[in-house]
Every structure is written in structure tokens, then in C-alpha cells.
Amino acid sequence: MELASGFWSFKTYAGAIEIGLFDLLADGHELTVEEVSAQLGIAVRPADLLLAGCASLGLLEKTGVRYRNAALAEEFLIKGRPYYFGGFVRYLDRREYPAWRHIVEALRTNRPQTWTPGSQESLFDTEDPETLQLFWDCMFSISVFTARALAGVYDFTPHRRLLDVGGGAGAFPLELCRRFKNLSATVLDLPPVCDLARRKIADAQLEGTVDAVAGDFHRDAVLPGGYDVIVLSMILHDWDEESNRALLRKCREALRPGGVVLICELLLNDERTGPPAAALMGMNMLIETEGGKNYSGAEYRRWLLDAGFSQAETLPLEAAGANGVVVGYVS
């Protein structure tokens, strides 16, 4: 029953964000069903059902007849807050949820359902700038906490220069350079994404420590050199094995002796039977990409050794964007 009705929870969650419920209750506001009804412009019955549904999911709390945001919603579901997660929910609701209706088509054709290869260059080639902005916002939010988890299991103290390949708006460099004062970092991404990263870098007042360089890590013959640590976070699951092996070879060639590459992903176990977060993200790659899938730590370790890394190991971590980091060492 939980498997069959899982969409009820998601659509309740997404509907509350889209209609502005959590923004209405921001900063400790407490409202009755009738007050929510009036202020959202909806009837009392749907207001009552929405509030009960969100409370059941742990997003709201209730005292007497008044509802308020739970601490989780207050931190992550209010527009404009530093770690706003609502953009991710809206992105899923607008782009991926409709595409998942065509899962059988994806299974039968082995083709993505959110974009059209041949007429669009990539899954990021969209005519909807708002949807694209939602994507980058959600990736930044998720990556902030993944970077913090990574910093808890891997010591960056020996390193000096970090390259974040496909680094988006720069969450990893910003978080890691705040924590490890010895680090400077570069985001490598497509030109429009670098503009987003530069804004985030300026907001964080880390110009001079973090910068952004335009490039295409698949099409460019080589990666920028002179770095002793390269991060690949939520990148390799977008691509097939051949493309990933080629990218890892570029990483090996770009790294200094003593350097490392860090692959942060939702890793499948070596038997490829779970965990669900990794396996279902793999299913989402069927919907979103031409060749992407989620891989096991064993697969990444084998590719690293084949690419010329001297040693590879997997370190577990716990974050929304990754459950482990595969480390490849250059001797």
C-alpha cells in the first residue's frame, strides 16, 4: 500500500509548496483552518485536508486549533532562505513527475522522457528558464549538505587546489573553502552556469579563493591542470560507462602526484540490489538521460584503477546527494 500510494505524500508536499502554505506560516505564524482558507483563497474543506496532510508528514505542528511550520519546514521550505529546498520539489513536480507517467515508454525505448535527443542538445537545453533555475537552485541546496558530509569523512588539510568538475553554482567549493582555510577552488562548468557560480561566490565574499572557469568536461580534450584534488559530485550517474571512463582518465592526467579524485554519489551496493535511494535514482536516470545510471562502489573503483590511479577506496557518508565517496589516489 505504501508503494502504491507514495505519490499521495509527494503531491500533498508539492501542492503545499506551490500554493504558498509554508511561506504563509513563516516566522512562527500560527493560523486556524479558517484563516488559512481565507488567506490562501481556497475553501475550508481543502484547507483542512491540506493542513492535516502536511501535519501527518511532519511538516506542520498544531497547538489547539492553530497550525504552524515545523522546524524542518521553517528552515528549508520558506522562499528566500539560504537552504530553500522548495525549488527542488517544484522542479520534480513540474518536470519529472509528468515524465514518470511514461516509464513504460522509457523501458521499451531506452530513451529519456524529459527531453528529445536529436532536437535538443542535452537535458539542460530547455525553453523554460524558470525550470532551469529551479534545477540549479535545488542542486545547490542538496550539494551544500553533501559537501558538509564529505568534509566529515575526508580530510582536505593536505590539499591546496580543488577543481569541482561540473560544479554547478559552486556549493562544494564554497563549503569546503570555508571549512579548510588552506584550500582554493575552481568550478568548471558551462558558461551560463559559471555566471550562477560567480554570483554565489560574490555573495559568499570568497572572490580570490573560489573562481569559475567555463568549459565542457566531455568535449574538452583535457581538464585544467595544476590541481591536487578533483571533485565529481552527482556527475557520473548522468553518463554511460564509456563516457565516465574517459572523464576519469582526464582527471588522472590533470592531477598532480599525490592528488586525489573524489566521486560523491548515491552508490549501489556491489550486488546492485539497493539501497533504494541509489537504485531509484538510477530509474530516474532512465527518465532523464540517454545513458546514465547509478553505479556501485566496486564499478567506480575498477574504473579508477583502469584509468591509472594507484589505489581506490570507498568511504561511507550520509547526505541527500550521496551515501558514499569513492577516492582515487595518484601515487
Return the pLDDT at 123. 66
Tell me which residue of 242, 256, 70 sits closest to 163, measured CA to CA: 256
| Distance between CA atoms of residues 231 and 264, nearest Å | 8
Residue 127: per-residue pLDDT: 58
Q: What is the per-residue pLDDT for 105?
A: 98
Strand order in the sheet with 255-265: 210-214, 184-189, 161-165, 227-233, 255-265, 324-329, 311-316
pLDDT given at position 138 = 78
> pTM of this prediction?
0.94
DSSP β-bridge partners for residue 326: 263, 314
Three-class SS state of 269? coil
pLDDT digits (tens, 9 = 90+) for 102-130: 999 999 999 999 988 887 777 666 657 77
Burial of 210 (0-12, 13-18, 19+ CB in 10 A): buried
Residue spans of the chain under pLDDT 70: 123-127
State the Cα–Cα distance between residues 46 and 301, nearest whole angstrom. 51
HSE-up of residue 265 (Cα within 13 Å, Cβ side): 31
Rounded to 10 degrees, the C-alpha dihedral 280/122/163/279 comes to 10
Predicted local distance difference test score (pLDDT) of residue 225: 94
The active-site residue out of 29, 102, 218, 237 is 237
Whether 214 contacts 225, CB under 8 Å: no
Q: Which three cell numbers stand for residue 37?
A: 482558507
Any idea where the domains of the chain sit in the sequence? 6-81, 133-278+289-329
**Count of positions (residues) in the chain:** 331
Distance CA 95, CA 61 (A): 30
Cell of 293: 545510471
Is 237 among the residues known to form the active site?
yes
Q: Determine the topology of domain 133-278+289-329 in CATH.
A: Rossmann fold (3.40.50)
C-beta atoms surrounding 83 within 10 Å: 13
Determine the distance from the C-alpha atom of residue 190 to the mean position of all C-alpha atoms in its chain, rounded to a whole number: 17
Class of domain 6-81: mainly alpha
Q: What is the pLDDT of residues 50-109, one digit of tens each?
A: 999 999 999 999 999 999 999 999 999 999 898 899 988 998 999 999 999 999 999 999
**Taking the mean position of all CA atoms in its chain, how far away is CA 292?**
15
Residues 6+ apart with CB under 8 A from 64: none
